[in-house]
C-alpha cells in the first residue's frame, strides 16, 4: 500500500470516520460529573484556589472575581478569538462571558471546574456572535455543515524537520490562522479546546455539551483537515518533489 497512489485512506476514510464514531460510542461512557468533586466539596476550599474564589464571590467579594478574571481572561480570549476570527467580536464576547458567569455564579454547582463552566458560557456566546455576524452578512448557514472534505489524507510528503523555521514568526502565525479559519466552527472549537488549550477530552465534551465520542470524531477530522492544509506550506521540498515525480510516473 505504501507504493499505491490512492491508498486505502482515500477509499476508506469516510467509512473510517463512521467506524471511529461507532467505536468511541461503543466504549463505556466516562461520567463527566467528576465524582471526586463530592470529596472536594466536603473539604474547605483554599481561599485563593478556584473554588475558594468562587465562594468568596458568592459572599459578595468582587475582588475575588477580579482574581478569577485575571486567572482566565487570556485563555478565554484566545478561545473566542479562534471561534469568531474577529478581534472586536472576541473582546465583546470575553466581556459578555465573564459578566454572564458573574451574574449566574450561584448556578455553578461545582460538578466541573469553574474554568470548564466558564468556557462553556464563552463558547456559546462566541458561536452566537458568529451566527449573528453570518446572518447579518446573509452568508449561507451551509458553511456550518460538517464536512468530510480534507479529512481524507491525500498528502503523503513528509514535512521539513523544523517546519516553523521555514518562515518568520509572523508569517508562520498567518499560515496557522489561515489554516484554522478554513475549518468549520464546530471542528475549530474542538481542536482549540483540546489541542491548543489542552483541556481533556472529557472537559472538552463537558464544555461543549457533547458526548466523548462526538468530541473524538470531530477532533480526528479537525486534525486531519489542518494537517492537509498545512502540508502545502511545511512539506519538505525534496520529499514533495519525489512524491510529484512518483505521481507523474504512475
Partner 1 sequence: MNCSNFLIELTDLLDEVLDAEMHRELDAHMAACGHCKVVYVTTRKTIQIYRDNQLYDMAPELREKLEAAILLKCKQSGRC
Stretch that binds partner 1, among 42-50, 105-113, 137-145, 203-211 (CB under 8 A): 105-113
State phi, psi for 34 to the nearest 5 degrees. -45, 115
Give the integer Cα–Cα distance in Å for 87 and 150.
27
Grid coordinates standing for 109?
A: 454547582
Contacts for 226 with CB less than 8 Å, ≥ 6 apart: 179, 180, 183, 191
The 3-state DSSP class for residue 154 equals coil
Stretch that binds partner 1, among 45-53, 81-89, 110-118, 139-147 (CB under 8 A): 81-89
Nearest distance from C-beta of residue 36 to partner 1, angstroms = 19
Which residue, 16 or 210, has its beta carbon nearer to partner 1?
Answer: 16
- 36: nearest Cα among 105, 108, 106, 110: 110
Task: State the angle between helix axes of 201-208 and 212-234 in degrees (0 to 180), rounded to the nearest 10.
Answer: 110
Nearest distance from C-beta of residue 162 to partner 1, angstroms = 10
Q: Which residues bind partner 1 (CB under 8 A)?
A: 1-2, 7-9, 11-13, 15-17, 19-20, 23, 62, 65-66, 69-70, 73-74, 77-78, 81-82, 87, 90-91, 94-95, 98-99, 102-107, 153, 155-159, 163-164, 169, 172-173, 176-177, 180, 191, 195-196, 198, 201, 216, 219-220, 223-224, 226-227, 230-231, 234
Amino acid at each position: 500500500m505504501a507504493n499505491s497512489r490512492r491508498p486505502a485512506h482515500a477509499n476508506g476514510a469516510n467509512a473510517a470516520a463512521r467506524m471511529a464514531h461507532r467505536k468511541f460510542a461503543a466504549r463505556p461512557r466516562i461520567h463527566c460529573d467528576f465524582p471526586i468533586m463530592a470529596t472536594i466539596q466536603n473539604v474547605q476550599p483554599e481561599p485563593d484556589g478556584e473554588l475558594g474564589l468562587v465562594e468568596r464571590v458568592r459572599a459578595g467579594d468582587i475582588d475575588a472575581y477580579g482574581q478569577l478574571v485575571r486567572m482566565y481572561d487570556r485563555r478565554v480570549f484566545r478561545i473566542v478569538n479562534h471561534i469568531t476570527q474577529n478581534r472586536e467580536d472576541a473582546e465583546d464576547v470575553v466581556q459578555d462571558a465573564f459578566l454572564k458567569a458573574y451574574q449566574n455564579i450561584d448556578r455553578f454547582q461545582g460538578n466541573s471546574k469553574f474554568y470548564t463552566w466558564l468556557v462553556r458560557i464563552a463558547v456559546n456566546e462566541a458561536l452566537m456572535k458568529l451566527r449573528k455576524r453570518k446572518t447579518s452578512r446573509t452568508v449561507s448557514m451551509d458553511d456550518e455543515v460538517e464536512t468530510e472534505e480534507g479529512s481524507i489524507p491525500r498528502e503523503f510528503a513528509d514535512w521539513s524537520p523544523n517546519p516553523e523555521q521555514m518562515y518568520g514568526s509572523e508569517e508562520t502565525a498567518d499560515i496557522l490562522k489561515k489554516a484554522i479559519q478554513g475549518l468549520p466552527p464546530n471542528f475549530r472549537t474542538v481542536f482549540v479546546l483540546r489541542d491548543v488549550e489542552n483541556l481533556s477530552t472529557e472537559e472538552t465534551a463537558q464544555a461543549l455539551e457533547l458526548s466523548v465520542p462526538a468530541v473524538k470524531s470531530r477532533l480526528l477530522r479537525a486534525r486531519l483537515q489542518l494537517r492537509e492544509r498545512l502540508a502545502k506550506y511545511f512539506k519538505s521540498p525534496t520529499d514533495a518533489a519525489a512524491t510529484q515525480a512518483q505521481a507523474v510516473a504512475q
